[in-house]
Structure 1
Amino acid sequence: MIGVGLVGATAVGAEMFGVGWSVTVVLVVWGVAVLVVGLAAYRWRERAFFAAGADPRGVTVAAFAGLVPVAGLGALTIMAAMGSPDMLSHRFDTPFHYNALAYIRDTHQASSLTLSSLGNPDLPAAFYPAAWHDLGSLVMRTTGADIPVTANMLVAVIAVVVWPVSCLLLVRQIFGRNRAALVVAGVVSVAFPAFPWDLLGWGVLWPNLLGLAIAPAALAVVVTLTGWARDDAIGVPRAWLLLFVAIGAAGLAHPNVLFSLVVLAVFFVAAALVRRGVRLRGQGRTWRGVAEIAGFLAVLLLAWWWAATTPALETARTWGWKAFQTPANATGEVLLNATNQHEALWVLSAVVILGAVAAHRRYPTLRLIVLGHLATGFLYVLAAGIARPDTQKFIGYWYNDSHRLAAMLPITGVPLAVGGLLVLATFLADKAAALPRPRALSTTTASVGLVLVLLGATGQLYAQDRTDRVGVTYPRFPQDQLVTDQMRAFFDRVAERVPPDAVVAGNPFDGSVLLWALADRTVLYPHFLNSLSDDQAYLAAHLDRVATDPRVCGAARELGVDYLLIGKPTDRSGPRTYSGIDAVADAELTPGLELVDSAGQSRLYRLAACDSASPSASYALPPRP
């Protein structure tokens, strides 16, 4: 969580001060941060800045021992889904994420305040959460890995390392120094296909994946601040500092994670205020408690009203995802962890429900987790089963998307499942002690045994479901791929024939969009949801008239476009934005274009008709450092 926040903030600050993005800049900022915090901690060490004391060694060993099988289970899922580390993702959002990494690589600019335009000077600067891309660019610079390998390994580490450790901290704060809880927390965290596995294939929503992966850690901070932590491992003073870090990290990873945290944290804050109100009443200060609760409700309602009406969130609120089932079916999916019409996970769901039931008597903090789980489930039902204009004020902050909302359920599902396993483990330990010949069975041993049973009963925690959800983004058949292996090899030849500072036009839907990420040659249309300037739109619609329409060459000169890349055949029934490029793809010969190279159905043309004038290259990226 600290790493995401500090790296994302460094990228913003570096660009504001005109400093190029690099590993050195990050190391300097980290060094300063460590020095400042270290000196502050030393200066106020007598004021309990840190937690009262470290956990016993046995507790720590149990926690990390539970993470060992996670690495194996997660790695097997990733390998089975990807096939090889350099496999391309072929989903709708992939071109933007790949080309954003290419943009950072080429310009040394990585700020969340400017990344969205990918260097297009005709687009106004707008916020886009770039923390995932910032981390990816650092992986590229420190390892030399190419963009597909970088993206695959980064999301694998988020799913297999960041998410389980984040869940481990939340479980630690809820159950305290409970070895039985900590030894199973990591394994349980990878059992829910809705997260992290679904977001590795749906979208792909890699920034959202990063943000939600640190959400349990951020919620653990809230648990400390509201006084609901058991054997607190953070400490209130440190938690106040981490709260601001968490807010920044979530916002720079993906802002809708902030809304997710509000949904889950509001119950902890409200419960803390009610508890404080009861205490104030006992002191004869009833009206003080009432005023604090009323103030909290007023702030909450005011914030909700702003979010439901501000133009800044209008695009997200009005995104057009529709309901696809009945509310009753959606409710059943929440109970059975079968969201978005996947198979029911009966065994895991039974454990989660048992944990929710046990929360009433055994684990007070877990009751608030139950409320958060119910609230998230309600939001999912709105998205999957209703999704009307009037529901946008509740689910619009997640783009009205059932997948994003379903991904929230494991944040609360993991501690509930841990609670369910603890109930069963305690029952087994008690039964063993009550035998005619009593057996010594610790709850930790019983918990480990239950996890082994869970692994066997669920096919290694629904391994096939996890693999299928991730594998959807890595199709094996060429007809399902945006860029085939043949095209990928052709892109290497294109890089040999096109100068490094050239700009290449192409219909992004035919795969040419990935030339930038795969061959380091800038493309004019770098993703599917391009906002086009007048020149860009005219070139896309009329490029087949390059020999007869002077305005085509004028637009090409203005944009610095010298080449046209044709990829694989595309569906012509969609929007006609790129009709001029499509006409070239459909024709055997287009006057004014010179064929430079071809492979299969892919072709590279030079705009020979525009040779008479030198391009201004106003769209070209800044000179490379």
Structure 2
Amino acid sequence: MWGLFFLCALVILLLLYVPGFFLVRSFSHDSLMSLAISPIFSISLYVIAGVLLGLLGIFAEWWMIALPIAVLTIGCFGISHFPRRKEASIYRNSKTGNDWLALALYVVVGVVIVGLFFVRDLNGPDSFAQLYDNASHLNTIRYMVENGNYSILYTSLYSVEEISSGIAPTVSSGSFYPAGWHVVTALGSAISGASAPIAENASLFVFMGIVFPASMALLMLKTFSDRLIVLLGSFITLSFSAFPWGFLTFGPLYSNLAAYAVTPLAVCSVASVFSVDQSKAGRLRWGIAFLAACFAFFALQPNAVFTVIVLAAPLCAANLMGSLSLAGVSKRRSGLICASVVLILALAWIVAWRLPFFEGIVTYPWPPFEGRLQALIGALDLSLRAYPSQLLLAGLVLIGAIWSLFKKKYRALTVSYAICIVMFVLCASSDGPLRSLLAGFWYNDAYRIAALVALSSIPLASMGMYVVFRAVVALGAKLKISKPIVCTVGCLVVLFGVCFIYRPSSMIGIGDDEPAFEVVDSKLIWLSAEDVRRYTVEESDFVNNALDLAKDDPGGIVNIPYDGSVFSYGSNGANVMFRSYMTAGASSEKPESVLVREHLDEISDNESVKNAAAALNAKYVLQLDAGGIGASSSSLDDGVADAETYNGITSINEDTPGFSLLASEGDMRFYKIDG
């Protein structure tokens, strides 16, 4: 199955980069810029196609989305470049070769790090984190492939037929959900033939190992004129436990991970609009890229728009000051203009915060969990929400921040970092309107705000590593050591620092406490381990056998989501009733569903229950924990107390009239509903 994993990863990589590259090249960006920013355009195109086909009510095969977009974008490139093939050289830059080298280094390092700390930790390419949110992720991917509905406006877990006269327990026909990442992943699954779990893992590998490093490479290239800082940044990009690693072990927050992976592209685009070295045409091109990024964020995770505001506002203000100064505007007037722009942005933020649309998000009840001083220390030492301190990395960030104070063009980076620190401290340690105003767009969730701290720290840590390297070189020159030896020593210092950040200390014999990446490694191994799964390998095999028994008389399967069967649709394709933990008791739940989950064991004596089961086309019952829901070591520790909600299902046994036992193994049962 590993071959299928890498095939799916290759497909997703091509989906993300090929259409976007040819479309962006049509705007006359150079090849490197076009390649780097292509994912935001590709994602936007797939989302638009999915929405249009959904509005037309067309069942979409993968080729109906991917092929027309490929033909359209390649055609645009051909048409736009055909008249000026001889002028292509004007878009070349003398630094292009070095820039390509930097981009390649980021991607190579990214693939290696993600391979070591994600792919290697998977217990097989089809293993998956059995955390609360992942049931929705996997089931949504499977639903898109099976039902050909790639529209983020009508995201659902059930087909129209299942809702109208089938096993769906809800009358909801779907609603808007930022499922852009799911669309790309589902297309990869459909094209390669990979299962939803394999496609999910392959997609995460691509977004973490390639898209995020490549995006950060572009931002670094546009920000720093010294290419050594850029090259050193390749080793820093994935070094923060808060992002992307924290999004794998909490939630999991895969959609947010995908959005943050392309956030550097948006920061780069909007900052370039105000850059002093841009022509009017260049500003227009970067403005289009920024708008495409905003649309992609709408489809991936809208809070990324506010993330860009936090990270990019200081950069844009600094660039605007520079542009106004170059245009001959006085310093005083330039300051007033920038202050006015910042004020307008702040007012727009407050207006958005007050909108009813965001009310449920900005008031989300994540409680504070530590005091203000502890939160500040956690932000500075990078322990943040859930990991040990990263003192070496924190030291590099501090060195970079201090160094930036002496480099006027880099001070804006420290301002962004300081804003993120304040946001994290307030989010972690307080409650009330101010916290909601600053952190509410991220659900008042310290995990997501911690990721902002990590993103803002990457350029600073890169500068810190640069300062250390230059200090070694300067010391060597002072001691009159030959330059090759000094550079070699400097490289060894950098290499040792990188190994110290990433490599578990127990493997190199340093320290007794677990460092951050050893904890990352342990958590990812634990999430994939067989002995902590709510939905075990044995249960998955049992479900496959049950599906074979039911293939001649297919129908809906009544289940209890908390015994692990919530994953059986996305993982095995089982036509189970409850594909989410949140359906039972919801306002959209069908009355027939309520009767079935509360009284199905009475079907032989209760005509209403019998009619309800028939209306749902329920023909089977699946129990994966017949002796009691939940394993004490399960990675999913939510909802076990809700077993009574499904009393009509849990009460069924071999002696219950109205049911015939088809399969039994350990505490697993598969029944056919008689009649």
TM-score by length of 1: 0.88
> Are the structure 2 counterparts of residues 59 and 515 from structure 1 closer, same or farther at C-alpha, using a change threshold of 3 Å?
closer
The structure 2 residue matched to 1:494, chosen from 546, 549, 567, is: 546
C-alpha distance in 2 between matches for 1:395 and 1:338? 19
Displacement of 1:358: 0.8
Match for residue 616 of structure 1? none
The structure 1 residue matched to 2:311, chosen from 261, 264, 285, is: 264
Displacement of 1:319: 2.4
For structure 1, the residue ranges without an aligned partner over 5 or more in a row are 612-625
The structure 1 residue matched to 2:492, chosen from 449, 455, 460, is: 449
Match for residue 110 of structure 2? 70
Question: Structure 1: which amino acid aligns with 2:539?
Answer: M
Match for residue 205 of structure 1? 253
Match for residue 376 of structure 2? 331
C-alpha distance in 1 between matches for 2:94 and 2:149? 40
C-alpha distance in 1 between matches for 2:352 and 2:85? 41
Question: Structure 2: which amino acid aligns with 1:200?
Answer: L
Maintained 8 Å contact 1:52/1:235: no
The structure 2 residue matched to 1:467, chosen from 498, 521, 531, is: 521
Match for residue 418 of structure 2? 374
Is 1:140 matched up with 2:140? no
Q: Per-residue CA shift, 1:325-380, capped at 9, x if unaligned?
A: 11211111111111114211111110011111111123x44322212122222222
Question: Structure 2: which amino acid aligns with 1:169?
Answer: L
Question: Structure 2: which amino acid aligns with 1:513?
Answer: V
Q: Per-residue CA shift, 1:433-482, capped at 9, x if unaligned?
A: 33335525797x676434302133335285413313433432431xx312
Match for residue 14 of structure 2? none
Match for residue 550 of structure 1? 607
Match for residue 454 of structure 2? 410
> Are the structure 2 counterparts of residues 188 and 126 from structure 1 closer, same or farther at C-alpha, using a change threshold of 3 Å?
same
Question: Structure 1: which amino acid aligns with 2:470?
Answer: T
Q: Which moved more, 1:508-517 or 1:203-212?
A: 508-517
Q: Per-residue CA shift, 1:596-623, capped at 9, x if unaligned?
A: 2122111112221xx3xxxxxxxxxxxx
Aligned to 2:544, the other structure's residue is in SS state helix
Maintained 8 Å contact 2:372/2:428: yes
C-alpha distance in 2 between matches for 1:576 and 1:548? 21
Residues 172-571 of structure 1 mapped to structure 2, 5 A cutoff: 172-176=221-225, 178-227=226-275, 235-275=282-322, 282=329, 286=333, 290=336, 293-294=339-340, 297-298=343-344, 300-362=345-407, 364-388=408-432, 391-436=435-480, 438-439=482-483, 448-460=491-503, 463-477=517-531, 480-499=532-551, 502-530=555-583, 531=586, 532-568=589-625, 569-570=628-629
Is 1:89 matched up with 2:138? no
C-alpha distance in 1 between matches for 2:81 and 2:291? 17
C-alpha distance in 2 between matches for 1:556 and 1:12? 34
Is 1:579 matched up with 2:650? no
Maintained 8 Å contact 1:510/1:566: yes
Residues 116-127 of structure 1 mapped to structure 2, 5 A cutoff: 116=156, 118-119=158-159, 120=163, 122-123=171-172, 125-127=174-176
> Are the structure 2 counterparts of residues 251 and 38 from structure 1 closer, same or farther at C-alpha, using a change threshold of 3 Å?
farther
Match for residue 52 of structure 2? 13
C-alpha distance in 1 between matches for 2:103 and 2:145? 38
Maintained 8 Å contact 2:106/2:235: yes
Q: Per-residue CA shift, 1:236-292, capped at 9, x if unaligned?
A: 332122111111112211111112112212223333445566678846994x98467
Displacement of 1:222: 1.8
> Are the structure 2 counterparts of residues 409 and 39 from structure 1 closer, same or farther at C-alpha, using a change threshold of 3 Å?
farther
Maintained 8 Å contact 2:157/2:579: no
C-alpha distance in 2 between matches for 1:50 and 1:215? 29
> Are the structure 2 counterparts of residues 501 and 263 from structure 1 closer, same or farther at C-alpha, using a change threshold of 3 Å?
farther
Maintained 8 Å contact 2:530/2:537: no
C-alpha distance in 1 between matches for 2:90 and 2:518? 43
C-alpha distance in 2 between matches for 1:175 and 1:95? 42
Displacement of 1:538: 2.7
The aligned length equals 598
Is 1:57 matched up with 2:80? no
C-alpha distance in 2 between matches for 1:476 and 1:256? 34
C-alpha distance in 1 between matches for 2:524 and 2:269? 30
C-alpha distance in 2 between matches for 1:368 and 1:14? 44
C-alpha distance in 2 between matches for 1:589 and 1:448? 72
Match for residue 615 of structure 1? none
C-alpha distance in 2 between matches for 1:420 and 1:51? 33
Q: Per-residue CA shift, 1:464-512, capped at 9, x if unaligned?
A: 13313433432431xx312111101101111112248522121111112
Aligned to 1:90, the other structure's residue is in SS state coil
> Are the structure 2 counterparts of residues 236 and 295 from structure 1 closer, same or farther at C-alpha, using a change threshold of 3 Å?
closer
Q: Per-residue CA shift, 1:361-419, capped at 9, x if unaligned?
A: 23x44322212122222222222222446522322221221111112222211111111
Displacement of 1:192: 0.8
Match for residue 218 of structure 2? 169
TM-score by length of 2: 0.82
C-alpha distance in 2 between matches for 1:449 and 1:171? 23
C-alpha distance in 2 between matches for 1:424 and 1:367? 19
Maintained 8 Å contact 1:324/1:384: yes
C-alpha distance in 2 between matches for 1:49 and 1:37? 16
Is 1:600 matched up with 2:657? no
Q: Per-residue CA shift, 1:113-166, capped at 9, x if unaligned?
A: 111454346115421111221121122122222222111121122111111111
Match for residue 30 of structure 2? none
C-alpha distance in 1 between matches for 2:610 and 2:376? 57
For structure 2, the residue ranges without an aligned partner over 5 or more in a row are 1-38, 165-170, 505-515, 631-639
> Are the structure 2 counterparts of residues 447 and 228 from structure 1 closer, same or farther at C-alpha, using a change threshold of 3 Å?
farther
Aligned to 1:523, the other structure's residue is in SS state coil
Maintained 8 Å contact 1:165/1:186: no
Identical-residue share of aligned pairs (%): 23
Aligned to 1:522, the other structure's residue is in SS state coil
Maintained 8 Å contact 1:503/1:523: yes
Aligned to 1:408, the other structure's residue is in SS state helix
C-alpha distance in 2 between matches for 1:368 and 1:44? 39
> Are the structure 2 counterparts of residues 367 and 105 from structure 1 closer, same or farther at C-alpha, using a change threshold of 3 Å?
same
Is 1:589 matched up with 2:635? no
Question: Structure 2: which amino acid aligns with 1:267?
Answer: P
Match for residue 618 of structure 1? none
> Are the structure 2 counterparts of residues 16 and 594 from structure 1 closer, same or farther at C-alpha, using a change threshold of 3 Å?
same
C-alpha distance in 2 between matches for 1:54 and 1:523? 59
Maintained 8 Å contact 1:421/1:450: no
Question: Structure 1: which amino acid aligns with 2:153?
Answer: L
C-alpha distance in 1 between matches for 2:384 and 2:543? 39
C-alpha distance in 2 between matches for 1:198 and 1:489? 31
